[in-house]
Amino acid sequence: MPDTNLAVENHAHSLEQKFVQLFGESPRIYQAPGRVNLIGEHTDYNDGFVMPAAIGFHTRVFIAPRPDRKLVIRSENYSEQVEFDLDHLPATRAGHWSDYVIGVAEMLARSGKKLSGANLLVYGDVPLGAGLSSSASIEVAAGYALLDSAYRALDQANPGRTKPEGNPIDRTKLALLCQKAENDFVGARCGIMDQFIASHGKRGRALLLDCRSLEYRLLPLPDDAALAICNTMVKHSHAQGADNQRRAECEAGVRILSKHLPNVRALRDVTTEDLEAYGSELPEIVMRRCRHVIGEDARVLQAAEALSTGDLQAFGKLMLESHRSLRDDYEVSCAELDLMVELAKQVEGVYGVRMTGGGFGGCTVALVQAGHVEAFRRTVGEGYERATGCKPEIYVCTAADGVGEVA
């Protein structure tokens, strides 16, 4: 599994040595994971429910304090180094990989956090462009590293001060600030799910999140099953515009339905019975968008019950229903995703499979019995390449821990 791969750990050790060569001292090391969403797609911005799991691909941040007010940040992925003054951070993005780090530093500073100068080396192995949230991974890892470094500098400067019990970093507040960095600084309209699971993930657990209240519950994933994530290697260029259109269609549905249901603030507040009673007033396309979101929220809650009772057959059935709804009602699938789902469905030991992420390309996720993983990898990989001429990437993962310091 990626989170226990010896090669990854050896690479981390070599990066630690490189940090010493670059900056002259040993770093502390922090990491935050990528994520896959098991069920609950396009519900987050409708105040609904999602069920992600952190996965064993990470962004690692190596950090050591500086005596001045500079942030010196080197990316191992891009072989580039940038430098910023903490007292004069840029207010707008530069369209550069460093935006994700500086945006978080800016939001932490605006929230009143007293950051300290630091040297950082950043490296990530979350597959880029696969919809596994490499952006939230770097944001949360950098934010946690900067906060912990600042707290340690404060302790060193004031050895007699009263310290709070336990770790003073509030993971939910960190997730919200990282989301704000991506929304307001980087300029991407993401919901809270990605940063939240990167902050709160637990090994062997999925996370049921209420995107309105931010209440969450950890749910057991079976020890004898794996998450098989299949990258179609496709990313359609119209995805962002289509995503904005879907949001507008959901908002139109809320406006019309709220005339009859005054307490409705988002589609999360609408039941299937409400939609049956008043859906005839909606334009047909808006009706289908609403039907997906309302049905998907119900499926997430049913999936949580299925995991709680160990009913993996029911869980898998809900995954398949989710994919059909995303394909037919929300219309965010594509031929390559549908092909990947059809190939996976035919493999023995697969409980369920669906597209995951925003759609129009990216990945599917399947829950697979551990003893059938290699057959799954071979059958799906060969079948997809034979049909498309494109070799997919298949990542086999277990659920991982959220952000923290690497021992």
Task: Look at residues 31, 15, 199 and name the one whose alpha carbon lies nearest to residue 121.
Answer: 15
Catalytic residue among 148, 194, 269, 297: 194
Question: Sign of dihedral through CA atoms 370, 137, 335, 275?
Answer: positive
Long-range CB pairs of 189-196, under 8 A, 24+ apart, other chains included:
189/45, 189/244, 189/247, 190/135, 190/136, 191/44, 191/45, 192/44, 193/35, 193/37, 193/44, 193/50, 193/52, 194/35, 194/52, 194/133, 194/135, 194/136, 195/136, 195/139, 195/140, 196/52, 196/172
Cα–Cα separations (whole angstroms), residue 384 to 130, 344, 379 = 16, 10, 8
- Side-chain-side CA neighbours of 298 within 13 Å: the count stands at 12
Would residue 194 show up in a list of annotated catalytic residues for this protein? yes
Question: What is the total residue count of the chain?
Answer: 407
Distance of CA 394 to the CA centre of its chain: 18
Active-site residue numbers?
A: 194
